[in-house]
Structure 1
């Protein structure tokens, strides 16, 4: 299925294709503060539609995940695995997907603080 999403102001917009069978609620220091529910997809399934100079990046710790955010409205629509290789992933914040019934998506808790 094809999903469309964006930040709050729409300056960062994307589409993602895949089967949304669940999302992860991570308790690491950044995810818990953002309140993100993350859907992991192969990086090639995420396609940016609009971003310009508005797409910011934040990394911390081991710097293997680029947490993307809109510089205008501050919303974090997705993150990206920035490691080398073909197995890269994208992590879509399902709160940013258009028309999604969040109550229908199973949520799995992940202990990112211990990882």
Structure 2
């Protein structure tokens, strides 16, 4: 996970208020075949949220542009338990994809000492998102 993910010291608890509900934005998304569907509640508009553009091998190969959200902000409508997971490198992060259509949907840590309680959603899996208007932070994951 990139430097945009919260540090373990900064991770809010589920009952920590994040922001005024009037500024929240909810997005729907899922895989190409719609076997996996989710909603994500962001503390602010997607166009004003910093996303990652990482050059590590998995982000490049899968076209990941991650948005980091606490687990409480992501609700799976269907397919969460049907997703296949893939591990590489240090085996601390599970990358989830649809077994039917292959869409890379999200990643999350399996190490309770490493970003516990957070999901990294692939913004490319959101419905009707204009990628050209989003803000990205370059992350050098290839060197780590």
Structure showing the higher strand proportion among its residues: 1
Task: Indicate the residue corresponding to 1:104 in structure 2.
Answer: 133
Worse-superposed segment, 76-85 or 65-74: 76-85
Q: Please say which structure displays the higher CA radius of gyration.
A: 2
Give runs of aligned pairs for residues 80-91 of structure 1, distance below 5 A.
80-84=108-112, 87-91=116-120
Over 3 Å counting, the alpha-carbon distance change for 1:44 and 1:53 in structure 2 is: closer
Give runs of aligned pairs for residues 1-40 of structure 1, distance below 5 A.
1-18=25-42, 19=44, 20=46, 21-40=49-68
Q: For each residue in 1:57-107, what CA deviation from the matched residue of structure 2 results, as whole angstroms up to 9, or x when unmatched?
A: 001111111100000000001111222168422111111111222121111
Asked if structure 2 preserves the Cα contact closer than 8 Å seen for 1:8 and 1:75, the reply is yes
2:83 maps to which of 48, 55, 76: 55
Task: Indicate the residue corresponding to 2:10 in structure 1.
Answer: none
Task: Indicate the residue corresponding to 2:124 in structure 1.
Answer: 95
The runs of 5 or more residues in structure 2 that have no matched partner are: 1-24
Q: Distance in 1 between matches of 2:38 and 2:80?
A: 12
TM-score (norm 2): 0.73
Aligned residues: 115
Q: CA RMSD in A?
A: 1.7
Asked if structure 2 preserves the Cα contact closer than 8 Å seen for 1:40 and 1:92, the reply is yes
Task: Indicate the residue corresponding to 2:103 in structure 1.
Answer: 75
